[in-house]
Amino acid sequence: MKYRYLGNSGLLVSRVCLGTMTFGMEGWGCDEAASIAITNRFIEGGGNFIDTADMYSKGIAEDFLGKAIAAHNRDELVIASKCWFRMNESPNAKGLSRKHILSSVEASLRRLGTDHIDLYQMHGFDSFTPLEETLRTLDDLVRSGKVRYIGCSNFFGWQMVKANSLADKLGLTRMVSAQHLYNLLRRDIEREVLPAAADQGMGMLCWSAIAGGLLAGKYDKQKGPEKGTRVGLRAAVDLPRYWNDDSFRIIDEVVAVAKETGVSAAQVALAWLLGDRRVTSVLVGAKREEQVADWLPAGDWDLPQELRDRLTNVVPFDHGYPREWMEMNWGNISGMEEFAPWEVDR
């Protein structure tokens, strides 16, 4: 397993992160015994980074994870969790208010059976709560030792920059990471979010890194998703998100590259993401222990650049304006310098 620093922090995390959304999930998830076995297999394979959230199965995922990590050295693990989603019908049991964050952290600590959370993330942006209130609360948690680092998930680029700028102005803890939907089939964050995260020194954590199993080559476009599969059970979400002709053109190429290189299609898809150094780690889940062996080797295997370029260009991605304008006019202000700026020469 290879490790990368989480943004501009001094924290090293495994390139592959175990996602626990399957833990306790009704229908397409796994039970307590399988959750513990999956966690053990991941840690034994060199993984030290595990991501969860209070809303995953309404706390059951954190409970299962707590039981799993009890058998391991807590100091060797990096445990991440999140809050934002409504947890019950109480008016304040949601969002990023001081009240909800503090109660959420305490509940997560109890379920996880630990005295601290290494990375605590805002699961979404809360437009109802002053950002200063949220950031001061998170800073208090860092100063108390209950939280070590903070990050966000599903933010716009401008929201990340605003949050860190406000933290700098007020002398509060900055975010070191961003967790967003990113894979070969959905590259939306390349337009604004990924550049903003890099500018802010925030490591990108990619959720749905193998697109719910599609990039592992598990689905047949003509037959459609089978009943009982994750995509089949989440058809209302995953079909509009992924199921189209362009996606299957990319999937076919991923499978072809996997055959050429002698690795699994999942490893190829994950390695494509990790070929960008702005990406710190890729999140992958499982509902059976044996599935871990399919993707865990991506933590130590790199996709040759020519193959990465080949996958990148299967379906051209339109970055739109203003990148289109900048590429058209960049030559007007460049050409006499020895080195291009980092965001141009990657």
Task: Give the model's confidence band at 346: pLDDT under 50 very low, under 70 low, under 90 confident, else very high.
Answer: low
Residue 246 belongs to a domain with what CATH number? 3.20.20.100
Strand bridging mode 16-19 / 49-51: parallel
Per-residue pLDDT tens digits for 171-180: 999 999 999 9
73 touches 19 (CB < 8 A): no
Per-residue pLDDT tens digits for 7-37: 999 999 999 999 999 999 998 999 999 999 9
Instruction: Give me the domain span that covers residue 285.
Output: 3-319
**What pLDDT, on a 0 to 100 scale, did the predictor assign at position 264?**
98
Across the range 201-213, mean pLDDT stands at 97
Across the range 211-238, mean pLDDT stands at 90
Q: What are phi and psi of 225, to 5 degrees?
A: -70, 135
- Pick the catalytic residue from 56, 120, 149, 242: 56
Angle (nearest 5°) at CA 153 between 298 and 185:
50
Per-residue pLDDT tens digits for 320-334: 999 999 999 999 999
SS3 270: helix
Higher pLDDT residue, 227 or 137? Answer: 137
Of the chain, the percentage scoring pLDDT greater than 70 comes to 99
The answer to whether residue 302 scores a pLDDT higher than 80 is yes
Is 304 part of any domain? yes
**What pLDDT, on a 0 to 100 scale, did the predictor assign at position 223?**
87
Residue 148 gets the label, from left (phi > 0), alpha (psi -120 to 50) or beta, of: alpha
Tokens 């929201």 appear where?
A: 159
**What pLDDT, on a 0 to 100 scale, did the predictor assign at position 125?**
98
Across the range 43-65, mean pLDDT stands at 98
What DSSP element (H or E) covers 175?
A: strand 175-181
The count of other CB atoms within 10 Å of the CB of residue 251 is 24
- Written as six digits, the tokens of 345 are 């020469």
pTM: 0.96
What's the mean per-residue pLDDT of the chain?
Answer: 96
105 touches 120 (CB < 8 A): yes
Is 329 part of any domain? no
Lowest-pLDDT range of 61-65, 87-91, 150-154, 336-340: 336-340
| Domains contained in the chain, number | 1
Is 136 part of any domain? yes
Using alpha carbons, select from 51, 47, 46, 85 the residue that is nearest to residue 65.
51
Across the range 237-252, mean pLDDT stands at 96
197 touches 161 (CB < 8 A): no
Half-sphere exposure (Cβ direction) of 34: Cα atoms closer than 13 Å:
19
Using the Cα atoms of residue 204, residue 207, residue 211 and residue 213 in order, give the sign of their dihedral: positive
Indicate the burial class of 294 (C-beta count within 10 angstroms; 0-12, 13-18, 19 or more): middle
Question: Which residue type sits at 165?
Answer: S
- Between CA 15 and CA 283 the distance in angstroms is 9
For residue 56, indicate whether it is catalytic.
Answer: yes
Per-residue pLDDT tens digits for 290-300: 999 999 999 99
Please provide the distance, in angstroms rounded to a whole number, between the alpha carbons at the two ends of the chain: 24
The answer to whether residue 227 scores a pLDDT higher than 90 is no
Is 327 part of any domain? no
Is 337 part of any domain? no
Lowest-pLDDT range of 168-172, 198-202, 326-330: 326-330
Using alpha carbons, select from 140, 182, 139 the residue that is nearest to residue 163.
139
Is 165 part of any domain? yes
Per-residue pLDDT tens digits for 58-101: 999 999 999 999 999 999 999 999 999 999 999 999 999 999 99
Where in 26-72 does DSSP place strands (E)? 49-51
Of the chain, the percentage scoring pLDDT greater than 90 comes to 92
Question: Which residue type sits at 258?
Answer: A
SS3 80: strand
- Between CA 319 and CA 343 the distance in angstroms is 14
